[in-house]
Structure 1
Amino acid sequence: MKSNRHFWVALMAAALMITALTACGGTPAAPTPVPPTPTPAPSPTLSAGDHIDLGADYMDQGQIEDAIAEFEEAIRLDPDNALAHFNLGVAYQYQGKLDQAIAEYQEAISIDPDYAEAHNNLGIAYDDQGKPDEAIAEYQEAIRINPDYALAHYNLALAYYAQGKPDEAIAAYKEVIRVDPDSADAHYNLGITYYDQGKLDEAIAAWQEAIRIEPEDSMAHNNLGRAYFDQGRLDEAITELEEAIELDPDNAQAHFNLGLVYRELNQVNEAIAEFETYLELIPSDSPNRAVVERTIAELEEQVEAQQAEYVNAEGGYSLRYPEGWHYAERGAEVMFVESEEDLDVVIEEAPLIMFAAGPLTELAENLGLTEITDLAEVLEAGAAALDGEAGEIETGEIDGYPAALTDISGSYRGSPYEGSLAIV
């Protein structure tokens, strides 16, 4: 939730008149008289408006104490100047002096009851004091005075959200967008509120609009990616999360969410890398640390299992599961991958698609073979079990074990595939 609330110094246009004095005269007669010593012009007297402008300049420079002195002088000169009280309230609020700020905003309102900005800032001060009901009342009053006051609608939405009133918050954010359609913050927070309600389509639409307005908002891309993940749209999730990380490599949440996507895809090593980056970026005392560390440990055990070598004395064969190997589908006896790239990589390192580890005699029996004359028969039976056809079968050795390899294509459980079968 982007909760930065805005308050500012209202400036009063008051120009300081500078008078230039010029001497005029004709040709002097001789002898030239000595001119009298000129009387210095009196220093111009500053008005309340002048002091307000000076105070505003000091505020811009971060010189809050000097600004306060100017606003106080403006009030001394003009006690009923609502703008001076308002700006003094802003200065106090910058210093965290909420009681003094509230008193000045209230004074400004007593002078000008329809001062919408003063009601809005008073609401912010109440919010900061933990008085949400009083804050909401002030935001509502500001909106009553000026229905198109986008900032008051925005602050009202934040207050409703903090109170656990999502429907009211949504209505207020929509009012912000009505007045200011390009408010990226309003679209962003609207998306969060929808997401909290489980309305993923609405959240996605809101974050897409926020990104349209501010394409380089890393957190908006992160949130959109997480919503896509929740909908099972994994490719789109990866695109958004990678963009979030490209924009902000230190976006810990994006690394975590990308880890979730990779884990779902069974890309274990990629998932571990993202979770480890997440741990590097979060505070050492984060309550999430222990959970993510356990997740990494579980994934590392999974990698070890995939890399484990099985040697069976009775059947005399070995199975290896290469690091980073993931499957699009799993069959009862065999496994196959989804891309030629996976095939090329794994053929160089270990069997790509292989029968489940176990005695070769049991595997043959499961495939309907009463006896085994050569490994080619096992591959042909395996292809048939996958509703596929084996291509040319190559035989040889892998790490000293008899091995056979063949291309296979077919349609397994309604899913067309191409791949390779191997047995060692």
Structure 2
Amino acid sequence: MTTAPAGASLDAPALRQRVADFVAEHDPATTDQREFLAARFDAGLAWVHFPEGEGGLGAPRALQSVVDEEFERLGYTPVGREGLVIGLGMAAPTILAFGTSEQRARYLKPLYTGEEVWCQLFSEPGAGSDLAALGTRAVRDGDGWTVTGQKVWTSLAHRADFAILVARTDPDVPKHKGITYFICDMSTDGVDVRALRQITGEAEFNEVYLNDVRIPDTQRLGDEGEGWRVAQTTLMNERVSIGGYPEPREGGLIAVVSHIWRTRPELRTPGLHDALMRLWVDAEAARLTKERLRQQLAIGQPGPEGSAAKFSFSRLNQEISGLELEMLGGEGLTYDDWTFRRPEGVEMAKRSAGFRYLRSKGNSIEGGTSEILRNIIAERVLGLPAEPRVDKDVAWKDLPK
């Protein structure tokens, strides 16, 4: 394979040539996908802005879209990657930002190829929407930690190999300061995963009990007590991955409702017409805003704008799915999806109207509740005064539980 020498200028034409040379040697139509992705990682074409040897080339982040578009043009279509969203979208950027060289070498490649699946052990039943109030404890034990607690709403925990985990290591300081971030091997003794069945009949999520789970200190990300700062990288990337994905014009759920309007004239009323037009405009405004967000991401790190993208995604999904039921009337109240499944992803546009309506209720909870996102947008985007926080300087152990 002929590629530009190391240190050569990495611009869009040079990267397109690298992709073309790579595909000439690794035909996506005949190469096993995992082998293809492993070779792509080694060639630095996984995440081009990552360092050389770690899946990248040290190129500007904006050039990733050039690489992805060229791979697609030359015949590579990713298949079966839905279950990797947490690893690719949340764990990888966090490991890059805070991991040691040994951690990056150990986890990034199998994460990218799909050899290892990841989940996220953040939310807790006792903390509500305030992640910093978490109570899962990690206690020093020689060269490692013993972790005890309960996590909830954990996607993919039933098949994950590893988890990104936040736990309280110092209860004597304010809640944001006594948290540490770990990588947890989900096969470790004491990890108990239980399905959570949702209102849809499915169980995308799990509750996870951690009963004296042993985690070596080599699986800590960042410094002890700095877990909240590390977690912010994960959370910002999570909100972008949920609400900031690219869509064509009239894409997503608004496409479903627009199709019903065009093909079912007997359902039309003036009131529904006005509601549909309002939501169509909102959806288009959200799409263009997300496009601007992706352009910002291309030149830096995700910021609080991702919270706005995720918030608008949640609101629109709920309002559009509600309008669909209103349009369909009694027909929309039928529900034939009440079958226990363990999906690795949700493609709402391909399901029934009833499923879309029920599943969209979770959009305002997962990835940060809409109430918390409103605060982030108000304070960090609009610059409004922060809400009074009486527990800011109170030790976690002294907070009401």
Please give the TM-score of this superposition, normalised by the length of structure 2: 0.21
- Higher relative contact order (CA closer than 8 Å, sequence separation 6+): 2
The structure that is helix-richer by fraction is 1
Pair member with larger Rg: 1
